[in-house]
Each structure stands twice: as structure tokens, then as C-alpha cells.
Amino acid sequence: MEINIYYIEDNKMKWTSLNELREKFLSFFESKGHLRLPSFSLIPNNDKSLLLINSGMAPMKKYFTGEEVPPRNRVCTCQKCIRTPDLERVGHTARHGTYFEMLGNFSFGDYFKEEAISWAWEFLNGVLEIPKDLLWPSVYEEDDEAYAIWRDKIGVSEAHIVKLGKADNFWEHGSGPCGPCSEIYFDRGEKYGCGSPDCKPGCDCDRFMEIWNNVFSQFNNDGAGNYTELVQKNIDTGMGLERLACVMQGVDNLFEVDTVRKILDTVCEISNKKYGENAKDDISIRVVTDHIRSATFMISDGVIPSNEGRGYVLRRILRRACRHGKLLGIERKFLKELCEIVIGQNDNAYPELKEKRDYILKVVVLEEERFNTTIDAGLGILSSLISELKEKGEKIISGEDAFKLYDTFGFPVDLTREIAEEAGLSVDNGAFTALMEEQKTRARAARGNVSGWSDSSKDLLSKLPETEFVGYDNAECKATLLSIIMDGEEVETVNEGECSLVFNKTVFYGEGGGQVGDTGVILSDNASLTVIDTKKTNGVFIHEVKIESGALKKGDVLNLKIDTDRRLSINRNHSACHLLQAALRKVLGTHVEQAGSYVDEHRVRFDFTHLAAMTKEEIARVEAIVNANILMSESCYTEVSDIESARKKGAMALFGEKYGDKVRVVSIGSSSVELCGGTHVSSTGEIGLFKVISESSVAAGVRRIEGTTGLGVLALLAEKEDIITETAKELKAQNPATIAKKAASLQSEIKETKRELESANAKLSELKTQSLLENIKQVGKFKLLTAKIEARPDSARGLCDSVKAKFSDGVAVFAAISDGKLNFVAAAGPEAVKCGAHAGNILKEISAICGGKGGGRPDSAMSGGRELDKIEDALARVEEILKQY
């Protein structure tokens, strides 16, 4: 690749492309003994505190804490990063972007301040040839060591070293490792300055730009402000690649950096706009440019648009890009084209972009199509609403209307606002927000709702203590009856019918976490009940029971006993569900996230994020992995711990889900660790066997697998066996193993028979025609054949056609009867037509005799009739008609 090198007069920098800068940095630190690691995925690995990697240091955390041993004690990376807290600001200024890359060199107990400082200087001043007088180091005011290195070892004059306080130059995050920093600032020149004689790094103006931060992790903070020296001291540095590119390319902001500018120019090309001409367009151009970069890298790392967690971040980013494309007047789909530019600009450093190109483009196109559908539906409604309001002279779109657009059509309210503004209208934001709040409250209430219960019984429920659940380890227990609820009202006693019971404790699992509620029996000396279902709301377990005999009253102590066989089947399916999820991630990739699940005694149903239908091979691999886990008969155990240690164990959990302080961590064998409140087997071997029943689509980007285990597999086998036995019997196969052969030979027999039948039929109709033709007679200029035949209309037409083909002057008229229905079919040869015969007219006249209607072309026609006893008259009439011609 040829690179044009030229010097920007303003700051004397050697122009270097972003891709070249990245390479220069990494190979420089390789030459200093660092191991070059590829960028980590944007999806944090086992770090649930983070949605997306947002700094070069984030994926290194486990090396710094000593939790994991780094592959070498000095490494360097260029890390993909995404930051979205100020998503709405992106585009409005040229300073905000969501995607950037971070260069960093790291030492884990290896080199320290002296090397870090020297190499930073050597790279900027030596390799990149940034003039000395444009570089300003800063140190923490109490860090004399760093100050001395800058002054004595590097030779920076004291006037050029800035001392800054704790807020700027001390890195600290609560208790734990911390330490001073030393930053390097770049002087952009007086024209960016405030003019103050004190203007230097740390000043509020734009003149000095921080480009590199070196963190010296040196102390441990005990949490009370006592600092002790760490035994293992670390170096953690970070330099924004785009920011460095700004310096080296002499440009003002990220959007002017070569690789980014290329995307921006393509946006302008597609939209036919010029950047820098119109402030409003510029915002949209920047939004699209930035967002397509983020989206491309997120999808490449396995994020799929969804309504949750990082999937939702991606969806917002893509939709925002779509919308701003529309604002720029782009009518067609355009994101794919831009995506290809992003891939082309980055695939040397990130070869996975090339590998996943088709996949990335597919995700983008799908999401763009989905958004366009939403927009099209909403736009129509909104524009008629706007013209209606304008006619009435009103200026405000009501909160109700905006909410309806949002709630029913998924139309984003900021878009409603924007379009309203363009039409000189506004949206009643207050009313809209109130409706949103109301909806949220409704949703909350719905979650705590038990269907069919009156408000008073709901009140009652909220006063009852949480039920103690002892069903993880027990199949039966004695419990005190706290409340009886019948027809939604609390009663003191009950002696028949169905009602709901609440106890102080229970062994019955209340439906939740995708697992059905338990069934079973409740007994006492004077009562017997069947438990039909068990539900749970706010920790209170509700047993829906049918009283078989006897009577109950509040305060009774009863014996609760679950249906153990059913529960064991549920356990098997639930544990298999966890194994299934782990296997899917192994086979399909880490983008697989749970989108819903359901287990009962018959089957397991698991919904997950994935774009394409699974292939037969993929399903077979998943099945094989799950069964291998089962056959190893590994032990399963549960542990109640705090959320932090659960995370450390790598427990999978949905983002955005709120867990209490204490969580239940379920490990199924060695391959699955999850937060789960359900009931499980104690060894994977208990599952018996796992079989996938079906794989299907639930929604765009969401697939569903259904499977079964243990006795369910046995039932499946029995069912298949029945089918085979039945089939063998029908096929008269002695041995079921031969049914395929038998079926194949039957097939070819049928084929042969069909062929023979066809030729026999052909011969037969030939004979029929022959015998019919004997009745042909000369009527004037025509050879006429009329007949009443038993035949379906189409075969009668075939007969007609053969007459027509044989005799150019022939006219054939048949009354064809099949299934008691009459049809007339007529045909006239070319010569006959020339002489005036008209099949259509003939039929029109004769079918009328039989009470029917019809007609057709001169050479061919068909009609119906109802009165079968008049057929002879009708056919006789043909001769008279022909005589007239």
C-alpha cells in the first residue's frame, strides 16, 4: 500500500493513516518485549458489570487483580471500545462518538514508571516525530519520582512539566489498587487557546489535548484512606487511536480522520449532500457515520438487535442511523453499503470482519427492513393526523395520540416530535410522559397479578408472610394453613369445591422461572385434597386445590405431598434446558442469549437469539453435546451466594434483570453455571437422554428448540415404534427393518401399474373413438357426430378434439355425464368453421333445451345442462342447426 506523506504546515506533523498508526504502536511495543494481543471482543467475557467493553484496560481486569495469569507479563493491544451513555449527544457535536479504539501497553508486575515514561516519549517523539516543544507531560503533584524521570532522564525542561492534583492525575476506584498518573498533552497551538499567560495543560480551553495516560498502579487503598505500597506494581496505559490520528493528520476532530472521513464521504454521496453546508444535515451525517462503525463491530462480535441489554443498544444505534438517513432524504435502504465501507477500511486489522461480512450485512439489512416497516405504518397515521389538526387550526399533538403511535405502532416519540416540529406543531410531552408512566405501573401491577382475584384478596396476599419453600430437598412436609381463598374472597372454613390455599411453608414449587407449578396431594386426618397447580406471587405460594373429601379451617396442620414422578420429569427437563443453552452457545456462538424458556413434565422449550434456522448438522451437534454431558453423569449442585461471587463463577444471567442480594447458583455438571430458582437433578445421568423434537422460528432473530428427556424420550421411541409396526403391518413386511425396501419396491410397482393403466386407457379411448366414429354421418357440408357418453368433461373434450383433428369438415357434439352431472362439449374442424359451423352457438342453443347456459368459440365450446331427460331432443336439434348453414 502506498501512503502519501506530506507535512501539514501548521503543525509540522508527518501525515500518517489511522491503520498505519495502529501498526506502528503495536510493533513498537513488540520491539520492547511486549506480547501483541488481538483486540478482545466488545462483549465482556464473564464481566456482568459491563454491557460493552469501554476501555483498553477493561478486558485486562482479571490480569490486574491476579485472578488470571496473563500470557506474558508485558502485553500491548489496540482495543475496540464502545461508549453510549451520551448517545443523544452524538452527532450534535463533532467531539462525540460511540466507537473508538484504544492503544495500550500493560505491565503486570514487570516494568514500571521509568520504562513506561521513556517508551511513551520514544514513541511520540522518536517514532512519530512529534516535535518536543509540542508535548507536555503532567504528573501527580506528589509523585516526585515521575517528575524526576521526566526532568532528568527524558530531559524535559521544568517549565514544560505540569503538576496536577488528585482529581486529574490520581487513578482510584473505591478501595483496592490505585496510583498516580502521568499524562502527555499535545499543544494544538495558540489559536485554540484562551490567551491567558497561565494557559497550560489542565486549562479549561481547547489548546492542550490529552493524548496519552499512563497509570502507575502503585498503592492499595484500604478503604479508610490508608495507602500502602503494592508488592506487585502494574502499568496501565491508554491512548485514543482516533485522537492520535487527529494530531498526526492535522485535523480537528474524529470525523476528519482518514478512515472515518471515508465513511462520512460515502454518506454524503448516497444522500447527495455536502458536509459543512447545513448544520442540521451535518448532525445527521455524523450520526450515520459514527453509528454504522459501532454497529458493524458490535454485530461482528456477536451482538444481535433485540429489546434487551446490549442487543437493545445495537437496535437503538441502527434505528438512529436509519432515521437520520431518512432526515437526509435517503429513500432507499443504504446501511449495507456503508457497512461495506467500514469493513473495507478495517479488515486488515480485524480479519474477522471479512470472515463475517455476509452475516453482518444480513443483520443490518434485516433490522433496516424492520425499522422501515415500523416507520411506514406510523408515518401514514401521523401525516393524516397532522393535516387533520392543521385543518382545525390546532397546534398540539395530544399525549394520547403520540402514545398510541408509540405503543401500538412502535413509532419512536422523538421521531413524532421531529416530524411535528417540521409541520409547525408540537407534542404534549407532559401528557405523553404521564401515559408512559401509567403503562409502566400497569405492567408492574400485571406482574403481581393473580388472575380472577379480587382486590381484597390481593390485599390479603400482600399481608401474608412469604412462604418458606422446602421443596428443593423434600417431597413432603407438614404445614399450617394460613389462608383459604374461595372465589376471590377469604373464608374461614371450606368443605367442598375448588379454592386456593396459602401455608406457612410448602414443598410445592410455584410456577416461575419458566418452570411449571407442582401438583400433588394434601392430606389430614379428616380431609383429602388434590393440588391442581401452584403459583407464586411476591414470595407467597398459592396452592390451587380441589377438595375430594372432608373439611378445612384456617390454622389446620396438613401434610403436603408433591407428585414425585412428575417433579422428577420436570427436574430432568429443567436441567437439560441449562445443558441445552450451554451447548447452543458452543455450537452457534456466544451471541446466543436466552429469550424465554418453559419446562414441564413432558418437554423443554428454549427460545434464544439467533438469526438463521439451525441446520440438521447443528441440531445433531447440540444434541450430541447435551447427551455427552448426560452420559458423563457429572454431579449438579446449587449454592446460595451473593451476586458478586456468582459473577465470578461465570453465572449466565440476563442483562437488566434485577436479582436480590442473595442468588441461587445452579451448576449442572461442568459445562453450565446459571442463576436459577428452579428444581434440578442431582447428577446429569438422571436426565437419561435428551432428544430435540423441533426447531422453529418465533420472531425475527429468535429461534425455538423443543426437546424432551428421560421418560419423554421413551414415550417418543414408543410412538415411533408404533408407527413403524403399523406401517410394517400395512406393507405386509415380515421384518420392520425391511420397510424402507418394501416401500421403495411398492413405489416402483405403483409407478409401473400407473404406466400400464395409462396405456390401457389410451387404447380404450382410441377404441371408443373408433366405435363412435362409426356413427358419423354427412349433414349438408358437414360430417356430424353426436353422442351421449359417460365421461368427465375433459375426456369428452379429448374425444371432440380427436374428431376435429381427423375431419376438417367435422362437427362433434357430446353430452357428457359424470357423477349425474351433464356437460355439453362441442368442436368444429377448420373447414367446418369456414363453412359457418359455430360450436359456441350450437351449444348455446341446445343447452338451453336442457335448462342450461353456455357457449364458446367457433371451434370449441363447453356448456352445462340440468334436465337429463331432454338430452336426446337437444342432440337431435344439432342436425337441424347444421342444415341451416
Q: Using CB under 5 A, which of the segments 18-26, 164-172, 673-681, 870-878 binds Zn ion?
A: 673-681
Q: Pick the stretch among 198-206, 256-264, 418-426, 763-771 that binds Zn ion (CB under 5 A).
A: 198-206
Locus of grid cell 494530531: 247
- Which of 91, 201 has the CB closer to Zn ion? 201
Pick the stretch among 185-193, 362-370, 460-468, 502-510 that binds Zn ion (CB under 5 A). 185-193
Which three-class secondary structure state does DSSP give residue 751?
helix
Residue 674 Cβ, how far from Zn ion at the closest point, in Å? 6
State the nearest-atom distance from the C-beta of 203 to Zn ion, in Å. Answer: 3
Stretch that binds Zn ion, among 376-384, 678-686, 797-805, 829-837 (CB under 5 A): 678-686
257 Cα distance to chain centroid: 33
Q: Which of 199, 470, 491, 643: binder of Zn ion (CB under 5 A)? A: 199
For cell 412436609, what's the residue? 477
AA identity, residue 747:
Q
Taking the complex as a whole, the smallest distance from the CB of residue 117 to Zn ion amounts, in Å, to 25
Stretch that binds Zn ion, among 10-18, 74-82, 610-618, 669-677 (CB under 5 A): 669-677
Residue 678 sits in the site that holds Zn ion (CB under 5 A)? yes
Closest approach, Cβ 575 to Zn ion, in A, equals 8
Residue 815 engages Zn ion in binding (rule: CB under 5 A): no
Q: Which is nearer to Zn ion, 125 or 638 (CB)?
A: 638
Contacts with Zn ion, 485-514, as mask; x by CB under 5 A: ------------------------------
For residue 710, give the nearest of 835, 552, 568, 853 by alpha carbon. 568
Pairing, β 170-171 against β 176-187: antiparallel
Nearer to Zn ion by C-beta: 509 or 782?
509
- Binding residue for Zn ion (CB under 5 A) from 128, 560, 676, 733? 676
Q: Which of 232, 219, 218, 238 is nearest to 106 (CA)?
A: 238
CB of 578 to Zn ion, least distance (A): 6
* 363 contacts 298 by C-beta, under 8 angstroms: no
From 199-207, 308-316, 555-563, 632-640, span contacting Zn ion (CB under 5 A): 199-207
> At 110, is the secondary structure helix, strand, or coil?
coil
**HSE toward the beta carbon, residue 676, CA cutoff 13 A:** 24
Could you say which DSSP state residue 635 is in? B
Question: Which residue, 473, 520, 475, 525, is CA-closest to 501?
Answer: 520
**199/521 with CB nearer Zn ion:** 199
For the CB of residue 253, give the shortest distance to Zn ion in the complex, in Å.
Answer: 19
| 194 vs 715 by CB, closer to Zn ion | 194
Closest to Zn ion by CB, 59 or 678: 678
669 binds Zn ion per the rule CB under 5 A: no
Q: Mark the segment that binds Zn ion (CB under 5 A) among 186-194, 345-353, 460-468, 536-544.
A: 186-194
The HSE-up count of residue 416 (CA atoms within 13 Å, CB side) is 30
Beta carbon nearer to Zn ion, 547 or 705: 705
Nearest distance in Å: CB 207, Zn ion = 5
Cα separation, 453 vs 445, in Å, equals 13
Which residue number, 216 or 690, has a Cβ lying nearer to Zn ion?
690
How many C-beta neighbours within 10 Å does residue 831 have?
Answer: 15
Cβ neighbours of residue 586 under 8 Å, at least 6 residues apart?
625
Query: Which of residues 194 and 740 has its CB atom nearest to Zn ion in the complex?
Result: 194
> Among the candidate windows 190-198, 250-258, 351-359, 864-872, which touches Zn ion by CB under 5 A?
190-198
- Touching Zn ion, residues 67-96 (CB under 5 A): none
Stretch binding Zn ion (CB under 5 A), from 196-204, 499-507, 820-828, 874-882? 196-204
For residues 382 and 579, which CB has a smaller minimum distance to Zn ion in the complex? 579
CA-to-CA distance for 494 and 484, rounded, in angstroms?
8
Q: How many H helices and E strands in the chain? A: 25, 37
Interatomic CA distance for residues 75 and 678, integer angstroms: 43
Q: Which range, of 33-41, 203-211, 269-277, 752-760, touches Zn ion by CB under 5 A?
A: 203-211
By the rule CB under 5 A, 205 interacts with Zn ion: yes
Q: Phi/psi at 661 (nearest 5 deg)? A: -65, -40
Start-to-end Cα distance in the chain? 90
**For residues 530 and 683, which CB has a smaller minimum distance to Zn ion in the complex?**
683
Answer for which of 3, 69, 148, 194 binds Zn ion (CB under 5 A) is 194
In the numeric block, which cell numbers belong to residue 283? 448532525
In the complex, what is the shortest distance from the CB of residue 190 to Zn ion, in angstroms, rounded to a whole number?
10
* Other Cβ atoms within 10 Å of 436 Cβ, number: 16
Strand partners, 784: 777, 811
Residue 193 vs 650, nearer CB to Zn ion: 193
> Cβ closer to Zn ion: 205 or 700?
205
Q: State in angstroms the smallest separation of the CB of 699 from Zn ion.
A: 22
DSSP conformation class of 190? G
Which residue blocks in 208-251 are alpha helix, DSSP H? 241-249
Measured from the CB atom, the residue of 399 and 678 that comes closer to Zn ion is 678
How many C-alpha atoms does 69 have within 13 Å on its Cβ side? 2
The residue length of the chain stands at 885
Using the minimum distance from each CB to Zn ion, give the nearer residue, 291 or 574.
574
Query: Which residue do the cell numbers 497509570 mark?
Result: 215
199 versus 381: smaller Cβ distance to Zn ion = 199
181-195 burial string, b = 16+ CB within 10 Å, else e? Answer: bbbbbbbbeeeebee
Number of residues near Zn ion (by CB under 5 A):
7
Q: Name the minimum Å distance from CB 501 to Zn ion.
A: 26
Mapped to the 3 state alphabet, what secondary structure does 307-376 carry?
A: CCHHHHHHHHHHHHHHHHHHHCCCCCCCHHHHHHHHHHHHCCCCCHHHHCHHHHHHHHHHHHHHHHHHHH
The CA distance from 216 to 181, in Å, is 6
Judged by beta carbon, residue 194 or residue 876, the one nearer Zn ion is 194
Rounded Cα–Cα distance for residues 757 and 763 (Å): 10
In the bound state with Zn ion, the residue whose beta carbon lies nearer, of 199 and 731, is: 199
Residue 203 as a binder of Zn ion (CB under 5 A): the answer is yes
DSSP string for residues in 18-85:
HHHHHHHHHHHHHTTTPEEEPPPPSS-SS-TT-SS--SSSGGGHHHHTTSS--SSSEEEEEEEEE--T
Site string for Zn ion, 344-383 (x = CB under 5 A): ----------------------------------------
Least gap, CB of 189 to Zn ion (angstroms)? 12
- The least distance separating Zn ion from the CB of residue 200, rounded to whole angstroms, comes to 7
**Per-position x/- string for 135-174, each x denoting binding to Zn ion as judged by CB under 5 A, each - no binding:** ----------------------------------------
Q: Are 450 and 421 within 8 A, CB to CB?
A: no
Min dist CB 202 to Zn ion, Å, is 9
The least CB distance from residue 441 to Zn ion, in Å, is: 29
Q: Is 202 in the site for Zn ion (CB under 5 A)?
A: no
Tell me the C-alpha distance between 505 and 508, whole Å: 9
Q: What own/partner pairs with CB < 8 Å and gap ≥ 24 does 457-462 have?
A: 457/485, 457/488, 457/489, 457/490, 460/485, 460/490, 461/502, 461/537, 461/538, 461/540, 461/542, 462/538
Cell digits for 52?
460493552
Q: Would residue 155 be called left, alpha or beta, if left means φ above 0 and alpha means ψ between -120 and 50 degrees?
A: left
Minimum Å gap between C-beta 581 and Zn ion is: 9
From the list 205-213, 388-396, 497-505, 814-822, the region that binds Zn ion by CB under 5 A is 205-213
Distance of closest approach, residue 256 Cβ to Zn ion, in angstroms:
23
Residues in contact with Zn ion by the rule CB under 5 A: 193-194, 199, 203, 205, 676, 678
